[in-house]
């Protein structure tokens, strides 16, 4: 049964310096989907991953030290697709897909809109284009696992203070509405499938000791198509992992 973990590492070189390899030995992901790698493979000691038995596939941003996604896997994929074929998004390294038999696993990094209106507009356009892309992809690859940082809290339970954050990027009504209709288009939030309790988050601001106080947001997801729902075994947020301002989210699934 494959163990899939999604992790926004906020700079893979920094995460490696904080013990990422040792954590991987203990967490034992079969497939690790990482986001915000902020590096090209030639800048990283990839031998460390290979020693653990991982093949590694990278889709970094063109801009140095920015964005980028990768997949590390112990299961050999049949095929790897880099990017989504839309230049302005592929330039930022936001999407990589690996096919394993009839199941496709995607590492995706949705844009943040927190730096201002221009990026918020970019994010909303991306969301629209992402929905279209995934709708088309499902026609060819009907079993999808979308693992990554969506930069959106779906519901009030997913954020520490829904009232004061009502007009904050990542919890805007139009973003949450997009998330809702995306789920309705045929996806299951695997974490919520097993966990209905509040105060479970995957990202904390570096400001004001937010992590220590657990003032967080749940913006990292493993979404699976409805046809994989019966294969779901277990999902948990690994909040003790401290290599990033995010933490990993684990999914055990039978495929």
Neighbours of 188 (CB within 10 A): 17
Query: For the purposes of burial, counting CB atoms within 10 Å of the CB of 4, is it exposed (0-12), middle (13-18) or buried (19 or more)?
Result: buried
For residues 141 and 132, give the distance between their C-alpha atoms in angstroms, rounded to a whole number: 14
Domains within the chain, CATH numbers bracketed: 3-253 (3.60.10.10)
Catalytic-role residue among 90, 121, 149, 158: 149
Q: What are phi and psi of 230, to 5 degrees?
A: -70, -15
CB 49 within 8 A of CB 25: no
Q: Write the pLDDT tens digit of every residue in 194-240.
A: 999 999 999 999 998 999 999 999 999 999 999 999 999 999 999 99
Q: How far apart are CA 169 and CA 120, in angstroms?
A: 7
Active site residue 149: yes
CB count in 10 Å sphere of residue 72: 24
Sheet containing 249-253, strands listed edge to edge, beginning at the edge strand earlier in sequence: 55-59, 69-73, 31-35, 3-8, 249-253, 232-237
Question: In this predicted structure, what is the pLDDT of residue 114?
Answer: 94
Q: Map tokens 């690859």 to a residue.
A: 141
Contacts of 112 (CB under 8 A, 6+ apart): 119, 123, 151, 169, 170
Q: What is the largest CA-CA distance in the chain?
A: 47
**Residue 140, class by beta-carbon neighbours within 10 Å (0-12 exposed, 13-18 middle, 19+ buried)?**
exposed
Backbone angles phi, psi at 101, to 5 degrees: 60, -125
d(CA 251, CA 255): 12
Over 10-49, what HEC string results?
Answer: CCHHHHHHCCHHHHHHHHCCCEEEEECCCCCHHHCCCHHH
pTM for the whole structure:
0.98
Q: Would the CA dihedral through 17, 207, 223, 80 be positive or negative?
A: negative
> Residue 4's closest CA among 28, 26, 21?
28
pLDDT tens-place values along the chain, 255 residues long: 899 999 999 999 999 999 999 999 999 999 999 999 999 999 999 999 999 999 999 999 999 899 999 999 999 999 999 999 999 999 999 999 999 999 999 999 999 999 999 999 999 999 999 999 999 999 999 999 999 999 999 999 999 999 999 999 999 999 999 999 999 999 999 999 999 999 999 999 999 899 999 999 999 999 999 999 999 999 999 999 999 999 999 999 998
**Phi/psi at 231 (nearest 5 deg)?**
-90, -10
């Amino acid at each position: 049964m494959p163990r899939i973990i999604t992790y926004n590492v906020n700079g893979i070189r920094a995460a490696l310096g904080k013990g990422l390899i040792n954590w991987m030995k203990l967490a034992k992901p079969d497939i690790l989907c990482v986001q915000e790698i902020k590096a090209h493979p030639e800048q990283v000691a990839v031998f460390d991953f290979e020693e653990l038995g991982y093949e590694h596939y990278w889709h970094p941003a063109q801009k140095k030290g920015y964005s980028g996604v990768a997949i590390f896997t112990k299961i050999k994929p049949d095929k790897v697709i880099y990017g989504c074929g839309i230049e302005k998004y592929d330039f930022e390294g936001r999407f990589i897909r690996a096919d394993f038999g009839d199941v496709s696993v995607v590492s995706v990094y949705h844009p943040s809109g927190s730096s201002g209106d221009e990026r918020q507009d970019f994010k909303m356009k991306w969301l629209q284009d992402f929905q279209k892309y995934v709708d088309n992809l499902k026609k060819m690859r009907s079993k999808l696992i979308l693992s990554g940082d969506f930069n959106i809290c779906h519901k009030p339970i997913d954020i520490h203070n829904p009232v004061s954050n009502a007009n904050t990027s990542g919890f805007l009504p139009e973003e949450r509405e997009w998330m809702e209709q995306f789920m309705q288009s045929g996806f299951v939030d695997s974490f919520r499938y097993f966990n209905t309790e509040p105060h479970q988050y995957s990202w904390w601001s570096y400001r004001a000791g937010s992590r220590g106080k657990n003032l967080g947001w749940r913006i990292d997801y493993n979404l699976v198509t409805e046809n994989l729902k019966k294969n779901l075994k277990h999902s948990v947020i690994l909040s003790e992992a401290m290599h990033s301002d995010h933490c990993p989210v684990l999914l055990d699934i039978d495929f």
